[in-house]
């Protein structure tokens, strides 16, 4: 819906840097404990220490809505994972859940979030199971993750929220060449993903050393540039 609004009113896109500046300001003043996002959840699964603050849910949801509203690009999976895990982790205190059980609780929350946003309960369950260690499955979490993913998908369908499906009109019959190509593509995608993850991690570590003022300056600079570009395009159209 946000993208449709921005496409219908292109001037809204010119305010995207302002929205980004506002989101950064909110996270700086209210979200210091949750700004790590998905990395915070993964760290808590590997080494449980503190309950994930509930504020993660409204902050990531609000940031995603504003990004989409002003024409920005933000994936759904990160928002769903953070909401699912942070909401599930709120049960840790009232039920006095042990660290080992808390791992399973967080994994179940991830499975539920993934399943609800993509409408894929099986993939959601497997995703949550492999978070603890890629390629290795936590057997004690199999049942909770599958139940969480199935229930999340059922609730989403009950509320009549549908996920757009992409159909492939032509499906090639299985062949050895196709299998080898898929294996090769999977290996390449994995290497690219690993490189992307490492580069973003290094970039995040280096950016934390900079002050908030630099963030403001860059956002204001981007805002001014985008506004001038939008104005020039409009002048060309009007001329």
Bridge partner list, 133: 136
Q: Could you tell me if 107 and 187 lie in one domain? A: no
Whole-angstrom distance, CA of residue 89 vs CA of residue 40: 12
The arithmetic mean of pLDDT across residues 20-24, rounded, is 90
Whole-angstrom distance, CA of residue 126 vs CA of residue 103: 15
In the structure, what pLDDT confidence band is assigned to residue 224 with cuts at 50, 70 and 90? low
DSSP assignment letter at 141: G
Arithmetic mean of pLDDT over the chain = 81
| Number of domains, the chain | 2
Q: Could you tell me if 123 and 182 lie in one domain? A: no
**pLDDT of 23-75, one tens digit each?**
989 998 999 999 888 889 988 988 888 999 999 999 999 999 998 888 888 88
State pTM to two decimals. Answer: 0.73
Q: Could you tell me if 48 and 142 lie in one domain? A: yes
**pLDDT of 154-205, one tens digit each?**
999 998 876 666 666 665 667 888 888 888 998 998 899 888 878 877 776 7
Q: Could you tell me if 89 and 196 lie in one domain? A: no
Q: Could you tell me if 152 and 199 lie in one domain? A: no
CATH number at residue 44: 1.10.3080.10
Determine, yes or no, domain membership for 183.
Answer: yes
Helix (H, G, I), strand (E, B) or coil at 133: strand
Q: Could you tell me if 60 and 23 lie in one domain? A: yes
Q: Could you tell me if 57 and 120 lie in one domain? A: yes
Determine, yes or no, domain membership for 133.
Answer: yes
Q: Could you tell me if 202 and 217 lie in one domain? A: no
Q: How far is CA 214 from the centre of its chain?
A: 25
Whole-angstrom distance, CA of residue 178 vs CA of residue 182: 6
Residue 124 confidence (pLDDT) above 90 = yes
Question: Which residue range(s) make up the domain with 183?
Answer: 178-208
Determine, yes or no, domain membership for 114.
Answer: yes
Q: Could you tell me if 189 and 160 lie in one domain? A: no
For residues 85 and 42, the answer to whether their CB atoms sit within 8 Å is no
Closest CA to 31 of 49, 70, 57, 50: 57
CA dist 124 → 57, 115, 153 (Å): 19, 5, 10
Q: Could you tell me if 51 and 125 lie in one domain? A: yes
The arithmetic mean of pLDDT across residues 86-111, rounded, is 94
Token digits of residue 198: 């490492």
Q: How far is CA 156 from the centre of its chain?
A: 18
Q: Could you tell me if 148 and 217 lie in one domain? A: yes
Determine, yes or no, domain membership for 169.
Answer: no
Determine, yes or no, domain membership for 171.
Answer: no
Determine, yes or no, domain membership for 172.
Answer: no
Closest CA to 107 of 89, 92, 123, 134: 89
Whole-angstrom distance, CA of residue 158 vs CA of residue 114: 17
Give the sign of the dihedral formed by CA 7, CA 160, CA 113, CA 97. positive
For residues 73 and 6, the answer to whether their CB atoms sit within 8 Å is no
Determine, yes or no, domain membership for 170.
Answer: no
Determine, yes or no, domain membership for 120.
Answer: yes
Q: Could you tell me if 194 and 84 lie in one domain? A: no
């Amino acid at each position: 819906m946000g993208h449709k609004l921005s496409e219908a009113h292109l001037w809204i896109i010119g305010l995207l840097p302002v929205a980004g500046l506002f989101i950064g300001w909110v996270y700086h003043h209210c979200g210091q404990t949750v700004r790590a996002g998905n990395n915070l959840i993964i760290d808590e699964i590997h080494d449980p220490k503190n309950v994930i603050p509930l504020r993660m849910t409204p902050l990531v949801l609000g940031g995603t809505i504003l990004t989409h509203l002003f024409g920005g690009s933000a994936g759904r999976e990160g928002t769903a994972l953070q909401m699912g895990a942070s909401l599930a982790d709120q049960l840790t205190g009232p039920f006095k859940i042990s660290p080992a059980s808390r791992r399973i609780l967080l994994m179940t929350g991830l499975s539920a979030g993934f399943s609800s946003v993509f409408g894929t309960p099986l993939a959601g369950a497997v995703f949550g199971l492999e978070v603890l260690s890629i390629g290795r499955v936590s057997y004690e979490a199999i049942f909770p993750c599958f139940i969480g993913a199935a229930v999340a998908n059922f609730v989403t369908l009950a509320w009549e929220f549908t996920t757009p499906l992409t159909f492939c009109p032509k499906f090639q019959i299985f062949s050895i060449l196709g299998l080898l190509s898929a294996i090769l593509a999977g290996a390449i995608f994995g290497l690219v993903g690993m490189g992307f993850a490492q580069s973003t991690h290094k970039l995040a570590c280096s950016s934390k050393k900079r002050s908030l003022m630099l963030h403001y300056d860059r956002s204001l600079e981007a805002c001014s540039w985008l506004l001038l570009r939008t104005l020039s395009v409009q002048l060309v159209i009007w001329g």
